[in-house]
Amino acid sequence: MNLDVAWERQRDRVRVTVTGEVDAATAPRLRDALVAARTGTGLKSLVVDLSGVGFLDSCGLTVLAEAHEACEAAGQRLEVVCATDAVRRPLFVTGLDDVLTVVDRTPVAAS
């Protein structure tokens, strides 16, 4: 299974871009990347862009739910970008789309 994760900090916001498949084998890598991306001071928003994800299973959903809880506890906002049915459907079926802030595209950075 292949998973690539990269992140970029822009002022008080971090955008994490994920491509590949998120499953039992790769979810720990995503979890570690999200924890690392949130490290630092002054973070207000974490955007997880899953537009390049072709498969998302329950392990990946758990990572997103944990990231949501961690962000809430720290007073941060988590947004999940899901532009494909491979991500949108599992979020809908599990009801996580009602818990997470889900958007269809990456928000434009403030100037």
Which domains can be identified in the chain, with CATH numbers?
3-103 (3.30.750.24)
- In this predicted structure, what is the pLDDT of residue 110? 47
- In this predicted structure, what is the pLDDT of residue 111? 41
Distances in Å between the alpha carbon of 73 and those of 6, 17, 77, 78?
Answer: 24, 23, 10, 11
pTM of the model: 0.90
The tokens for 75 are 């007073």
- In this predicted structure, what is the pLDDT of residue 52? 96
What are the pLDDT tens digits along the chain (111 aa)?
699 999 999 999 999 999 999 999 999 999 999 999 998 888 999 999 999 999 999 999 999 999 999 999 999 999 999 989 999 999 999 999 999 999 987 555 544
The tokens for 109 are 């950075």
